[in-house]
């Protein structure tokens, strides 16, 4: 079974491999990205991260708006290999 990576583990990897110094600094970077993506999608905008995919608002037939993620082709190929 595949391993589940926690936010804490992701922060540790970010700090270790990106010269961020501390886990606290890496956490601030990650949180700022999550906040920006959430803010933009909430405002009706699409956020594109090349090689990963896009986050966008999607309106259901019921009229309810939900977030949607569309993986990039490069990401899909990497996962399915």
Strand partners, 69: 55
When divided into structural domains, the chain yields a total of 2
Q: What is the pLDDT of residues 54-79, one digit of tens each?
A: 999 999 999 999 999 999 999 999 99
**Is pLDDT above 90 for 1?**
no
Same domain (yes/no): 51, 35: no
Confidence of residue 20 (pLDDT cuts 50, 70, 90): confident
Same domain (yes/no): 64, 39: no
Same domain (yes/no): 39, 69: no
Helix axes 23-42, 7-17, angle to 10 degrees: 120
**Is pLDDT above 80 for 21?**
yes
pTM: 0.85
Domain encompassing residue 56: 44-81
Q: Of all residues in the chain, what percent carry a pLDDT higher than 70?
A: 99
The answer to whether the beta carbons of residues 34 and 22 sit under 8 Å apart is no
Name residue, tokens 């309810």: 64
């Amino acid at each position: 079974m595949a391993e589940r990576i926690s936010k804490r583990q992701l922060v540790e990897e970010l700090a270790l491999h990106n010269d961020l110094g501390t886990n606290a600094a890496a956490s601030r970077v990650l949180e700022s990205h999550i906040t920006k993506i959430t803010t933009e999608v909430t405002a009706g905008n699409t956020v594109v991260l090349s090689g990963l995919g896009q986050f966008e608002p999607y309106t259901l037939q019921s009229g309810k708006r939900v977030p949607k993620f569309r993986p990039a082709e490069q990401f899909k190929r990497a996962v399915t290999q």
